[in-house]
Amino acid sequence: MNELPPVVLGPVVLWADLAGIFVSALGGALLAVRHKLDVFGVFVLAIVTGLAGGMARDVLIGATPVAALANTLYLPSALAAGAVVFFGHRVIERASQPVMLFDAMALGFFAVAGARKALTYGIDPLPAVLLGVLTAVGGGALRDVLLAEVPRVLKVGELYALAAMLGATIVVAGDALNLPSTLVGIAGALGTFALRMVSVRFGLTAPRAPGSD
Amino acid sequence: MNELPPVVLGPVVLWADLAGIFVSALGGALLAVRHKLDVFGVFVLAIVTGLAGGMARDVLIGATPVAALANTLYLPSALAAGAVVFFGHRVIERASQPVMLFDAMALGFFAVAGARKALTYGIDPLPAVLLGVLTAVGGGALRDVLLAEVPRVLKVGELYALAAMLGATIVVAGDALNLPSTLVGIAGALGTFALRMVSVRFGLTAPRAPGSD
Amino acid sequence: MNELPPVVLGPVVLWADLAGIFVSALGGALLAVRHKLDVFGVFVLAIVTGLAGGMARDVLIGATPVAALANTLYLPSALAAGAVVFFGHRVIERASQPVMLFDAMALGFFAVAGARKALTYGIDPLPAVLLGVLTAVGGGALRDVLLAEVPRVLKVGELYALAAMLGATIVVAGDALNLPSTLVGIAGALGTFALRMVSVRFGLTAPRAPGSD
Residue C170: inside a domain, yes or no? yes
- The answer to whether the Cβ–Cβ distance between B145 and A147 falls below 8 Å is no
pLDDT score of A84 more than 90: yes
Counted domains in chain A: 1
Radius of gyration of chain C (CA): 17
* pLDDT value, residue B1: 40
Out of B97-101, B161-165, C58-62, C147-151, least confident range: B97-101
- B3 within domain boundaries: no
Mean of the pLDDT values across residues B78-105? Answer: 86
Q: Which of A21, A31, A38, A51 to mutate to test the interface with B (most CBs of B within 10 A)?
A: A38
Q: Tell me which chain A residue has its CA closest to the CA of residue C145.
A: A145
pLDDT greater than 60 at residue B65? yes
Q: B121 Cβ partners below 8 Å, 6+ apart?
A: A65, B2, B5, B61, B62, B63
The residue range of the domain holding B28 is: 10-202
Query: What phi and psi, each to the nearest 5 degrees, are found at residue A80?
Result: -60, -40
Residues of chain C with pLDDT under 50: 1-7
Residues of B in contact with C122 (CB under 8 A): 65
Collect all residues from B whose CB is shorter than 8 A from any CB in C. Answer: 32-33, 36-42, 44-45, 47, 55, 59, 62, 64-66, 68-70, 72, 75-76, 85-87, 89-90, 145-148
Confidence of residue B2 (pLDDT cuts 50, 70, 90): very low
**B133: pLDDT strictly greater than 50:** yes
pLDDT-wise least confident of B114-118, B204-208, C71-75: B204-208
Assigned domain for B117 exists = yes
Task: State the Cα–Cα distance between residues B22 and C24, nearest whole angstrom.
Answer: 34
- Give pLDDT tens digits for A124-166: 999 999 999 999 999 999 999 999 888 888 875 678 888 999 9
**Residue B213 maps to a domain:** no
Q: What is the pLDDT of residue C179?
A: 94
Instruction: Tell me the three state secondary structure of residue A208.
Output: strand
- φ, ψ for residue B208 (rounded to 5)? -95, 170
What pLDDT, on the 0 to 100 scale, is given for residue C2? Answer: 43
Residue B184 has pLDDT above 80, yes or no: yes
For residue B72, the model assigns a pLDDT of: 92
Q: What pLDDT score does C90 carry?
A: 84
Q: What is the pLDDT of residue B213?
A: 58
**Helix/strand/coil for A155:** coil
Which subunits sit against B, judged by 3+ Cβ pairs under 8 A? Answer: A, C
> What was the pLDDT predicted at A57?
96
Residue A3 lies in a domain: no
CA gap A213, A210 in Å, rounded: 8
Residue-level pLDDT at C7? 42
pLDDT in the model for residue C212:
65
3-class DSSP state for residue A64? coil
> A208 vs chain B: nearest CA distance in angstroms?
27
User: Across chain B, what does the average pLDDT equal?
Assistant: 89
Residue numbers in C near B59 (CB within 8 A):
59-60
**A1 belongs to a structural domain:** no
